[in-house]
Structure formats: C-alpha cells, structure tokens
C-alpha cells in the first residue's frame, strides 16, 4: 500500500472526494449549466414582467396576490422551482448512473470509500449546483429590481436548504430503483409535473379547491415557495406555519439521508 494512504483521513474526507469527482463531471457541462442558470430567470422575467404580470394586475389588481405586484409574488416561487429542478438533475441522474447505467458507484466502492460517503458526496455536489443556480437567479432578480438585496438575501440559504432537502429524498428514493424507464416516467408525469402545477407557484395555493390543496402540502416546492415569499417581501406567515415549513423540509432531509445510507450500503454489498 502506498504510504500516503490514511484510512482515518478517508473516513473524514471520503464524501468530499466523491463530490470533487461529481463536480468535475458537472464542469464538463459548465456552459450549459451557466446558460440555464442565467437564461431561465431572464425568460421568466421577460414573459411575466411584460406579459402575464401585466395581464394579472390589470384584471384583478393586486388583490389576488395579497397586495403585491404579480412579479413580486411569483419571483420567490420561480427561484424555488429553479433550485428544485437543479436539485432533481444532480440527485436523480447521478444515482441512476452510479448504480445502473454506468455502475460508477461500484468503482468508487472498490476503494476505501463507503456507500454513505458516496450518498453524501452526491448530495454535496447537488448542493453546489443548487447554490450556483440560486445565486445566479437571485442576482438576476436583484438586477431587475424585483427584490432588494437587504430584504431578500436570506432567501438564498432558505431556498438552498429546501432544494437540498429535496435532493436528499430523491437520492434516497432513486437508490431503490431497479427498473429505470418505469421510474422516470412515473416520477416525471405523476410527481414532478403536478408538483410544479399545484405548489402555489403561479397563484396562491388557497385559491385552489380544497381537495387539490393537499398536493401542495406534501410538495417540498410549496414549502420552499412559502418560505421564499416570507423572506423576500414579508409575505405574512404565522410562527406555526413557519415552523411547519422548516420542519417538513428538515424531515425530508433527515428521512432522505436515512434511506440513502441504508439503501446505498445494501446495494453495494449484495
């Protein structure tokens, strides 16, 4: 064995090495990632600022959005969706690739790296991509005067936290997947799509019929959106609801890791 190998050091930094590898794979796509991170908010701002927003405000004033401009109402929600989309990209595909498509996790696991370290490394890399996306998005919103720096900076950590929680649960769930076509279809059509439509992104959740609202309640995107509104423009939230939103996301994070650690270990030692 090479004398430079220290198992103690690997025990502490293993996840970082995995994240390093993930990030260097991501950097192969750096221009795409950057264009999406900047282009996505630009398109939405133009479409909503010039089009939809004017229409909404002209027709119903600001009453439907709790007294703020439509763009102010929707901006934190769009930020949250962008963060969650980035989290999904960097959580689901690497795990499918790692276990199934290219079996990269088996290669990692033939070194001193363990299953839980691989899961954590994938998570850290996903968080890096989310942070990049959120910061770019936020900067565009600031540049267009949609939010103010002093009032909205804390949206950044909150939105990253929420997307991180989502990434954790996706890593855990994807690790359990054996049949991928089926999983991708179900996840996209039955979970991701409804999540984007029923999370109070484009209109307040409570303006929907009550029987549709539970979709929002279990959607990480809704919790992230509510928190984003609260932190970006002082949208009213009770202390109870604030706690509920954070607690829900924290539960996803912890549950996601518990599931991921167990599933990664089992799958890698079969």
Does 28 help bind another protein (rule: CB under 8 A)? yes
SS3 159: helix
- Which of 30, 103 has the CB closer to another protein? 103
Ranges within 113-152 binding another protein (CB under 8 A): 113-114
- With binding defined as CB under 8 A, does residue 102 bind another protein? yes
**Which whole-number Å values give the CA distances from 10 to 15, 20, 117, 226, 257, in the listed order?**
8, 13, 10, 40, 20
Q: How far is the CB of 23 from another protein (least distance, A)?
A: 11
Neighbouring CB atoms inside 10 A of 83's CB total 30
Is there binding between residue 9 and another protein (CB under 8 A)?
Answer: yes
Check binding of 14 to another protein (CB under 8 A).
yes
Residue 238 engages another protein in binding (rule: CB under 8 A): no
- CA–CA gap between residue 149 and residue 138 (Å, rounded): 9
Task: Tell me how many degrees the CA angle 138-40-91 measures, rounded to the nearest 5.
Answer: 85
Give the nearer residue to another protein in terms of CB position, either 59 or 110. Answer: 110
Beta carbon of residue 6, minimum distance to another protein (angstroms, whole number):
6
> How many residues make up the chain in this entry?
270
Give the per-residue SS3 of 60-77: HCCCCCCCCCHHHHHHHH
Structure tokens at 144: 């267009």
Minimum distance from CB of 57 to another protein (Å)?
47
3-state secondary structure of 209: coil
* Surface-to-core class of residue 104, CB atoms within 10 Å of its CB (0-12 exposed, 13-18 middle, 19+ buried): middle
As a whole number of angstroms, the distance between CA 122 and CA 195 comes to 23
Q: Which listed range, 64-72, 112-120, 122-130, 254-262, lies at the site for another protein (CB under 8 A)?
A: 112-120
Taking the complex as a whole, the smallest distance from the CB of residue 187 to another protein amounts, in Å, to: 23
Among 7, 149, 210, 239, contact with another protein (rule: CB under 8 A): 7
Q: For residue 112, state whether it binds another protein (rule: CB under 8 A).
A: yes
- Contact present, 150 and 107 (Cβ < 8 Å): no
Smallest separation, CB 78 to another protein (Å) = 31
Least spacing, CB of residue 188 vs another protein, in Å = 23
Binding site for another protein (CB under 8 A): 1-2, 4-7, 9-11, 13-14, 17-18, 20-21, 24-25, 28, 102-104, 106-114, 268-270
């Amino acid at each position: 064995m090479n004398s430079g190998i220290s198992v103690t050091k690997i025990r502490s930094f293993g996840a970082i090495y995995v994240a390093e590898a993930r990030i260097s794979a991501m950097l192969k796509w750096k221009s795409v990632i950057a264009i999406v991170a900047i282009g996505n908010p630009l398109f939405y701002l133009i479409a909503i600022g010039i089009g939809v927003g004017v229409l909404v405000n002209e027709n119903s004033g600001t009453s439907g959005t709790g007294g703020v401009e439509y763009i102010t109402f929707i901006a934190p929600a769009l930020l949250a969706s962008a963060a969650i989309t980035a989290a999904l990209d960097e959580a689901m595909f690497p795990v499918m690739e790692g276990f199934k498509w290219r079996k990269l996790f088996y290669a990692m696991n033939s070194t001193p790296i363990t299953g839980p370290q691989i899961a954590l490394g994938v998570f850290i890399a996903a968080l890096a991509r989310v942070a990049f996306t959120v910061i770019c998005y936020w900067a565009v919103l600031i540049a267009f005067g949609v939010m103010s720096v002093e009032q909205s900076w804390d949206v950044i950590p909150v939105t990253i936290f929420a997307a991180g929680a989502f990434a954790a649960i996706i890593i855990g769930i994807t690790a359990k997947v054996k049949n991928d076509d089926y999983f991708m279809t179900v996840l996209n059509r039955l979970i991701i799509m409804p999540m984007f439509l029923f999370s109070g992104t484009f209109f307040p959740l409570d303006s929907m019929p009550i029987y549709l609202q539970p979709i929002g309640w279990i959607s990480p995107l809704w919790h992230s959106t509510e928190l984003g509104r609260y932190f970006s423009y002082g949208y009213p939230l009770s202390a109870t609801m604030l706690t509920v939103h954070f607690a829900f996301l924290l539960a996803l994070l912890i549950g996601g890791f518990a599931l991921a650690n167990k599933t990664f270990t089992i799958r890698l030692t079969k």
